[in-house]
Structure 1
Amino acid sequence: MFRNAGLILLLIVIASIVWFFVKGRVTRAQEQVRDRALEGASVGRAATARPAAKHLAMMGRTLTLAADPQRTGELIAQVAGADDRVTDVRPEPQALIVEIDGSRPLVRAHLLPDRTVVGVDEMTWEMGFPQGASVWDRVAAAIAQAATAQGIPVSEGTREFVRADRPQERAEVWVVKT
């Protein structure tokens, strides 16, 4: 009986050690993919990190709606609120906040007197990719389509991100590069 218990305990210890090293290798591999996506210096690296780079580019997409901020704010709230993965749309002074999946990515629509600029202000990087990129891309496309249908001129831009110094639990938080 003690022999079986000792054998089981030994197997648990060995499995724990193996899990520790396997998990560490996966994390290092994810970091390498992220770094390759951000560097993109060579064709080989860019090809290896194509999915992560694609998601990062989707997160950097911005829209500028050239119309009254009240009108564009209502349009953004209506269109974004219709998406299943958007959990909250709330006003702030001169802005409208759109939360995807409860917290990140955090999309902010800056309501300026002559235009509205909409884009991701913060995101998390987990499992080798920025999280919520496909949702933001879908919401941005829907906003652009609805604005165009209403005769509001829309232009697209891009943003770059950097890793923030304030981690959120185990996820990395990335913010707009200033």
Structure 2
Amino acid sequence: MFRNLGLILVAIVLLSIVWFFVKGKVSRTHEQVRERALEGGFGRAMTSGPATKHLAMMGRTLTLGADPQRTGELIAHVAGADDRVTAVRPEEGALVVEIDGSRPLVRAHLRPDRTVIGVDEMSWEMGFPQGAQVWNRVVDALTESAGKQGIAVSEGAREFVRADRPSDGAEVWVVRS
């Protein structure tokens, strides 16, 4: 009985060691295949449709027709409620909303008669702009909350271009001027 148990334990240990090395080799191979696909036309073809959709989401802007204090409080409350929004901090004449710690960079420009909020810059990694779904959720929630409070809301769009300055290996995209 103990002999059979010992053989089973030895088999488990050996299989674990083999699995560790096989898993590492598969992960490296998968990474190499993904990099080759992205370098070639195949990867771009696979990601172009979804990337275009995400880029359109990132370009959404809102203009809130109310005083800056009221809209600032609304933005801080609504954006701060999302789990992936890591900070809402004041800046001179604006509020900065940080998604996932740094990018995309969302700025709400607080003007005396209205507030315009939108993505100012974003990172592009693995074929997609990062944070698009989070920004889309925040925009939808802001639109709904502002409507409930009787604040006039209009939606706009921005276009982006690739910036010349890379950040931490990721492409940075900024608003087209």
Shorter chain as normaliser: what TM range?
Answer: 0.7 to 0.9
**Preserved contact between residue 30 and residue 128 of structure 1 (Cα < 8 Å):** no
Q: Within 2, Cα distance between the matches of 1:88 and 1:119?
A: 15
Instruction: Give runs of aligned pairs for residues 87-106 of structure 1, distance below 5 A.
Output: 87-106=86-105
Q: 1:73 to 1:29 in 2, by over 3 A?
A: farther
Alpha-carbon distance in structure 2 between the residues aligned to 1:69 and 1:31: 47
Tell me, yes or no, if the aligned pair for 2:121 and 2:175 is still in contact at 8 Å: yes
**Counterpart position of 1:81:** 80
Per the normalisation by structure 1, the TM-score is 0.78
Q: How does 1:66-145 map to 2 (within 5 A)?
A: 66-145=65-144
Aligned to 2:13: none
SS in 2 for 1:49: helix
Percent identical among aligned pairs is 69
**CA-based RMSD:** 2.5
Bigger radius of gyration, 1 or 2?
A: 2
- Give the secondary-structure state (helix, strand or coil) at the position aligned to 1:144: helix
Measure how far apart 1:26 and its partner are. Answer: 3.0
* Equivalent residue letter for 2:77: Q
Runs of 4+ with deviation above 2 angstroms: 18-24, 29-33
Which runs of no fewer than 5 residues in structure 1 stay unpaired? 1-14, 37-46
Contact 1:31 1:128 in 2 (8 A): no
TM, length-normalised to structure 2: 0.78
Give, in angstroms, the shift of residue 27 of structure 1. Answer: 3.2
Does residue 1:55 correspond to 2:66, yes or no? no
Match of 1:6 in 2: none
- Counterparts of 1:7-46 in structure 2, within 5 Å, are 22=33, 24-29=35-40, 33=44
| In structure 2, distance between residues paired with 1:111 and 1:66 | 11
